[in-house]
A = this chain, B = another copy of it.
C-alpha cells in the first residue's frame, strides 16, 4: 500500500467529485481549461444541454477506434488517454497523451472518421460533444466556434513542436522535453509541477518519442544518476526542473 505503484491515479478524485455528480459546465473545475472560456453565461447554459456526460472508461478501454465514423469530440474530464495511429506491419505511433481539459478527436472533423485510436491509460471519464449539435449551436454562438478553432490551433502548434522533437532532438533532449511538458501540464491543472505519476508505460513513452523502451529506461537511469529526477516505478519527482529545461534543446 505504501509502494510507489499503488498510489492512486492523480485525476481520479476529480472523476469522483465532478463526473459522478454531473456537474454543470459553470461549476466544473476544468472550466478554466475547457471550451466555455469566453462564453456568456446564457450561452453556457445552452452548451451545457448538448454535452453528454458519458460514463467512465476503465484502463485500456478505447474511447473510439481508428476509421470509426466521426460523431463527437471528447474532452477529458478525469484520467488520461493516449491516441495511436498505425502504419503498416503493425507499427504504431503514439501521437499524443491527453489530460483533463484536453480535446480528443479533432483530427476527424475533416475526414469525418477518426484517424486514430484513443485508449484510456487509467480509469477515466470524458465529456462528449456531439459535433452536429455543436455546429447547430455554433451558428447562434460564434464565440463557441472561435473557441473550437482556438483549440484546434493549439493542438496544431503542439504537434509542430512534436515534429521538432521527433526530427531534430537527441534521445536525452526528447526525454527532458517530455518530462518538462508533463510537468507544465500538471501544473496548469493545479497539481504539483515536480511530483506526479506517469499514467503511461515506458513502452508508450518510448513509442511516442521515437525511441526504444531500453533507451527510455537507460535515460531515466542517467537522469536519476545526475540528480535531475527521482523515479520509483510510475512516480516521478523532478529534482532540478531548471536543469531539465536546459536539456530540452
Which residues of A come within 8 Å of B, CB atoms?
85, 87-89, 91-93, 95, 106-111, 115-116, 135, 138-139, 142, 145-146, 148-157, 159-164, 166-169, 207-210, 248-249
In whole angstroms, how far apart are the Cα atoms of A173 and B235 in the complex? 37
Judging by beta carbons under 8 Å apart, are B146 and A107 in contact? no
Closest to A211 in B: B167
Which among B93, B109, B168 is the interface contact of A210 at CB below 8 angstroms? B168
**Alpha-carbon separation in the docked complex, A118 to B219 (Å):** 35
Cβ contact within 8 Å between A142 and B135: yes
Residues of B within 8 A of A163 (CB): 85, 93, 95, 159, 162-163, 166
| Contacts A109-B149, A155-B156 known; 5 new A-B pairs at CB < 8 A | A85-B160, A109-B153, A110-B150, A111-B153, A115-B160
Report how far A116 CA is from B163 CA in the complex, Å: 12
Residue among A92, A157, A207 with max Cβ neighbours from chain B (10 Å):
A157
Knowing A142-B135, A152-B153, A156-B156, the reply to whether A210 touches B87 (Cβ < 8 A) is no
Residues of B within 8 Å of A152, CB to CB, are: 106, 109, 149, 152-153, 156
Give 9 closest A-B pairs by Cβ, nearest first.
A109-B153, A139-B142, A167-B210, A166-B166, A110-B153, A110-B154, A152-B152, A145-B145, A107-B157
> Is the beta-carbon distance between B155 and A111 smaller than 8 angstroms?
no
Of B139, B151, B169, B248, which is within 8 A of A110 by CB?
Answer: B151
List of B residues within 8 angstroms of A207 by Cβ: 167
- Residues of chain B contacted by A155 (CB below 8 angstroms): 156
Distance in angstroms between the alpha carbons of A138 and B116 in the assembled complex: 30
